[in-house]
Amino acid sequence: MECVETKARLSTTAIAAAFGLRRVIRVRRLRNSPLGTILLETARGRFVVRRLPPRSDHELKRNAQFLVYMRQHGCPVLAPLTDRNGRYWYGLGPVLWSVHPVREWRLRPLDPNHPPHLRALGESMARYHLAGRGYRKSGETRHTPERLTQLWAAIRPLMPSFLARTTRALDEETEYLAWALDLTKLPRGPLLLDMDPQRFCFQGDRLITVLHCDPDCRGPYIFDLAQAVNRLCFSQGSYDPSRFETLVRAYDAFRLLALLEWDVFPNALRFSAARFLIVGLQRVFLDQTESWAAFESRFHPWFERLRILRREVDGRFGTLRNFMATGYEYRRYQRIREIP
């Protein structure tokens, strides 16, 4: 035990020295913290040490440069420091570590039932999209109806008979979205996409940190908003119009939704729900990295979302559509007034 503790102290000292963090006052081991594994309290401030996933040097550098760029443009992401050799990571044996300055480490995740949290998320999402417009393009859009159709074609032969209704629904949905969801003219750039509440760290009502941002995650901005609505504005078997309005109004106040985005919003919601189901089924039946028993508890609520969006059952989606229609008409009126 003493050897393990001594080795941990030496590792922490080596990391601090590599990044020029002298006079380490205190070292904390963070348990179950999304920020990282170690907190260093130094004369320069607080720093979180994170263990990096195994990647190539090129990927690590590209991801770090993206985080630095987004931080410089006002996005609350964890931007890494550079070590004495100008790298954004430090290797201890086979393990790579990065160091990030933080002001506060005792944070709590997003609460969808708390309107100020949804408002802060909408504003930060809009700022993220606005900042990402100026970042150099790092790859093609991976989240398209065509790619979803190809993935479903690979999974479909493996679907069991007890999911026959799901198979029919996803057959119809992929065919419909490939025809109806035109992405060619939609504004696009870096996306957050995963709207797990644990990813958004709050101190009170302020969003302090957004975790796990990837420069290769690109697509139409409306996909982010649709994913946030499906993940955070659905409660007890139906959509919550008050949550939806809070989130969308906060986003639209910072980045005005284009006329085409209002028009495609309902289909973007359907794409979001279908994508979650198909990617989950891929893990279960194609990749076999997750069991059906583990995925089933998440499958049923998302399939219910898809049924509501297809208007097979009532789930207060009509109220959301009325809000979208009002936003569409108001934006069209503004556009007419802008034309001399």
Nearest C-alpha neighbor of 221 from the set 137, 146, 133, 151: 133
The region, left, alpha or beta by phi > 0 then psi within -120 to 50, assigned to residue 315 is alpha
The pLDDT mean for the chain works out to 89
Predicted confidence at residue 237, as pLDDT, reads 93
Predicted confidence at residue 234, as pLDDT, reads 97
Tell me, letter by letter, the H, E, C secondary structure of 138-165. Answer: CCCCCCCHHHHHHHHHHHHHHCCHHHHH
Predicted confidence at residue 5, as pLDDT, reads 37
Number of CB atoms found within 10 A of residue 281's CB? 25
Predicted confidence at residue 106, as pLDDT, reads 85
Residue 9: is its pLDDT beyond 60? Answer: no
Predicted confidence at residue 141, as pLDDT, reads 65
Predicted confidence at residue 4, as pLDDT, reads 35
Using pLDDT thresholds of 50, 70 and 90, give the confidence band for residue 44.
Answer: confident
Tell me the pLDDT tens digit for each residue of 49-93.
Answer: 999 988 898 999 999 999 999 999 999 999 999 988 899 999 888
Nearest C-alpha neighbor of 230 from the set 301, 149, 124: 301
Give 167 or 93, the one with higher predicted confidence: 167
Predicted confidence at residue 8, as pLDDT, reads 46
Average pLDDT for residues 123-140, to the nearest whole number? 85
Residue 33: is its pLDDT beyond 60? Answer: yes
Residue 103: is its pLDDT beyond 70? Answer: yes
Query: What is the DSSP annotation of 30-61?
Result: PSS-SS-SEEEEETTEEEEEEEPPS--HHHHH
Average pLDDT for residues 145-163, to the nearest whole number? 95
Tell me the pLDDT tens digit for each residue of 197-208.
Answer: 999 999 999 999
Residue 3: is its pLDDT beyond 50? Answer: no
Number of CB atoms found within 10 A of residue 326's CB? 11
Predicted confidence at residue 193, as pLDDT, reads 86
Q: Where do the H-state alpha helices sit in the chain?
A: 2-18, 57-72, 115-132, 145-155, 164-180, 221-232, 241-254, 259-281, 292-309, 317-338
CA distance 213 to 63: 8
Average pLDDT for residues 143-170, to the nearest whole number? 94
Residue 232: is its pLDDT beyond 60? Answer: yes
The residues, ordered by sequence, that sit 6+ positions from 296 with a Cβ below 8 Å of its Cβ are none
Residue 2: is its pLDDT beyond 50? Answer: no
Contact 109, 103 (CB under 8 A): no
